[in-house]
Amino acid sequence: MTKFLGPFVNRDGDSPTYLEEYKIWVNLDGVVTTASSAISSYLYFYSFNLGSQDIYAKAFYFYGPNAGDDELDGVDYNYLRFLNANFIDVINSSPEDVVIEPTYPTGFPTRNIYVAIDSL
Amino acid sequence: MNTISTPFRNVVPDVQPNMFASYGSKTWNQYDPATGVLTSNNSTFVTDAVQPGMVLFNPEDSTSWATIQSVDSETELTLNGGFIYESSGGTRLVRFSIATAAVAFKQYCTDTESSKYWWANYKVGDRVQSQGQQLKTSFNKAVATIVAMEWDEVNDLAFMTLDKPLQSSRALWVYKEGNVYAYPFEKIQAMELYSYYEVGDDSEVYMTLYDARRTDNVTIYPWLLTPDSREEVQSVGKELENKVIKAIQRCSRSPWPTGTVMIEDSYGLTFET
């Protein structure tokens, strides 16, 4: 069932004279498995592509909390647990709720997150 | 299969430009809404024989329009109000157009064959929009309605009368009820709203709908293409986001297996590939 998790916000610039912002909502329909490395700054959620044999992924990239920061290593932050908790929120949401905002646990290091579709 | 949609643009062929002299591409420098005085340094109103009674409007938003009360000098006019000079978010819309009262609300066809096409396809009640002069915007915000479709028997040409003035020196679009651009809802694997503002550079806001293989991605541009400030970039983006998210929610909740949901107030918006 179609459910969008978002927005995830990624800022390259955030000052009175410069703003560059991506707000992304991710459709979680069809997600079948995940791949995660404990030390990487990103996380892949794989889905089967509709009507083909391809597999594609929603790739989550975690950056430092401020605009323009570098990617954060995953070694201390457990991105998989963060996203799993949000996926469970989505699964448990009312059928009327189509767009569900992510929740961030206390101490989570960043809300500066970019999401892309990657074909494999 | 459910879809989200925007109205389909039928491009109108062979429209006669309806602007007076060169007043289809002018800008104003000052406008005082209290006195109605408009100053345009690149105009020569007296030399060009601009007259009181002519219709002046902003081709980027001709929702309202003004009548010229007096021609005060080569560069100055007094209007009777109704001239839109900025967007609701505060961006200055510096274009203006002038047409004679006889044609400001009319669009004439230039060719008999095309006139027959107009006659057969465009009806009273259809909506009409123009691209306008396009400095700050993607299209003229005003959406007119055809109030009469007539035939000039002397010249064998069709002409339509509208309820708003539109500039026809650029593309003119007719919208027929029920004709839409549709994007399959099930294709949308992610949505991205991109906002950019930097002092000294052109700002932009747009929304992209991504399909899984990224081969059928589409982008939606708002009416205000180049907002003037960081605040306006965010305000325009929020407005576009709200419209698209609302359509997504309605589409997902639709009980009908082949329902289509129009993005609210979406005349002029298209799914660009």
- B248/A54 touch (CB, cutoff 8 Å), yes or no: no
pLDDT at A120 over 70: no
Mean of pLDDT over chain A: 86
- B189/A26 touch (CB, cutoff 8 Å), yes or no: yes
Contacts of A58 in chain B (CB under 8 A): 189-190
B241 close to A (CB below 8 A): yes
Q: For residue B217, give both structure tokens.
A: 């991605």
Q: How far is CA A51 from CA A54, B191, B213, in A?
A: 9, 21, 11
Q: Which residue of A has its CA nearest to B197?
A: A19
H or E segment and range at residue A31 = strand A31-36
pLDDT of residue A7: 97
Q: For residue A91, give both structure tokens.
A: 């699964």
| Residue written as token pair 């960081």 | B230
Distance CA A64, CA A112 (A): 6
Q: Read off the pLDDT of residues B103-123 as tens digits, 9 standing for 90 and up.
A: 999 999 999 999 999 999 999
pLDDT at A49 over 60: no
Q: Are B86 and B93 in contact (CB under 8 A)?
A: yes
CA atoms within 13 A on the CB side of B31: 21
- A19/B195 touch (CB, cutoff 8 Å), yes or no: yes
Mean of pLDDT over chain B: 94
Q: Is the ipTM of this complex over 0.90?
A: yes
Q: Which residues of chain B have pLDDT under 50?
A: none
**Distance (Å) from the C-alpha of residue B100 to the closest C-alpha of chain A?**
43
pLDDT category of residue A92 using cuts at 50, 70 and 90: very high
Distance CA B78, CA B96 (A): 14
Distance CA B113, CA B165 (A): 25
pLDDT of residue A117: 85
A113 close to B (CB below 8 A): no
Partner B, chain A 5-64, Cβ-Cβ below 8 Å: 6-7, 13, 16-27, 47, 49-50, 52, 54, 56, 58
**Distance (Å) from the C-alpha of residue A96 to the closest C-alpha of chain B?**
7
pLDDT category of residue A36 using cuts at 50, 70 and 90: low
Listed in sequence order, the DSSP H helices in chain A are 79-91
Peptide bond between residue A7 and the one before it cis (omega within 30 degrees of 0): yes
pLDDT of residue A51: 55
Q: Looking at the partner chain, which of B188, B191, B212 has a beta carbon nearest the beta carbon of A49?
A: B212
Residue B217, Cα to own-chain centre: how many angstroms?
24
Provide the pairing of β-strand B127-130 with B37-39: unpaired
**Distance (Å) from the C-alpha of residue B191 to the closest C-alpha of chain A?**
5
Averaged pLDDT, A57-84 = 87
Q: Read off the pLDDT of residues B234-261 as tens digits, 9 standing for 90 and up.
A: 999 999 999 999 999 999 888 887 888 9
The predicted model scores a pTM of 0.92
Q: For residue A95, give both structure tokens.
A: 């059928």
- B249/A19 touch (CB, cutoff 8 Å), yes or no: no
